[in-house]
Amino acid sequence: MTIPDNKIYPRTNDSGTIYLKGAITNPNIMVGDYTMYNDFTCDPRQFEKNNVLYHYPVNQDKLIIGKFCSIACGARFLLTSSNHTQRSLATYPFPIFFEEWGLDKANVKSAWDNKGDIVIGNDVWIGYEAVIMSGVHIGDGAIIATRAVVTKDVPPYTIVGGIPAKAIKKRFDDATIEKLIRLQWWNWPFEKIQQSIPHIMNGDVDKL
């Protein structure tokens, strides 16, 4: 069973926490089931406007977020147009002001270095006001610390923090991580996940 695409609020009388999938309208933003976003300063339904930045359609880049992720207030995802090209001798993005300088409109994308999509795995926890840069891939089960700036890929089940973010430690030993990656519990049917919640919460990977 999956949650209805139009279901927004998972908790009664809590308008600050949403199932993010139900608030997404941009086809270049894809969010998996049960991923939640909490915002105590703004309407969380404005995630596309307030949290997904420099996401211009001309670049066709994507933000892809898996299932069962937890995204804290103020986390931001900076897409391609945050990267002024470094091929130029100038940091100024002349191509986007093509009218002013008599440039070819078709070359507007040359103003930026396109580093690719942001891809967030499943069961990822992104902390308060963390920043994820374009092109970054974050593995399943990873944790991004508060106000970290993530400029490089994060392996599965790894905790990172700092500016720029660096690995702090793995959440589990290698054998447990391998089992979790193989099990992919987030893809199980609703009923099986529901039955397994006690084992998941107690860290009993061998009982899954």
In one-letter notation, the amino acid at residue 36 is M
Residue in 55, 84, 137, 199 annotated catalytic: 84
- For residue 127, CA distances in Å to 145, 151, 196 come to 5, 15, 26
CA torsion 144-150-153-159 (nearest 10°) is -20
How many CB atoms within 10 Å of residue 199? 14
Q: Which backbone phi and psi does 94 adopt, to 5 degrees?
A: -50, -40
β-pairing, 36-38 with 70-71?
parallel
Strand segments, DSSP code E, in 121-179 are 125-126, 131-133, 137-138, 143-144, 149-150, 158-161, 166-170
> Which alpha helices (H) appear in the chain, and where do they start and end?
47-50, 98-101, 174-183, 190-201
Q: What share of the chain is helix, strand, coil (3-state, %, to 5)?
A: 30, 20, 50
If 0-12 CB within 10 Å is exposed, 13-18 middle and 19+ buried, where does residue 92 land? exposed
Active site residue 84: yes
Residues marked active site are found at: 84
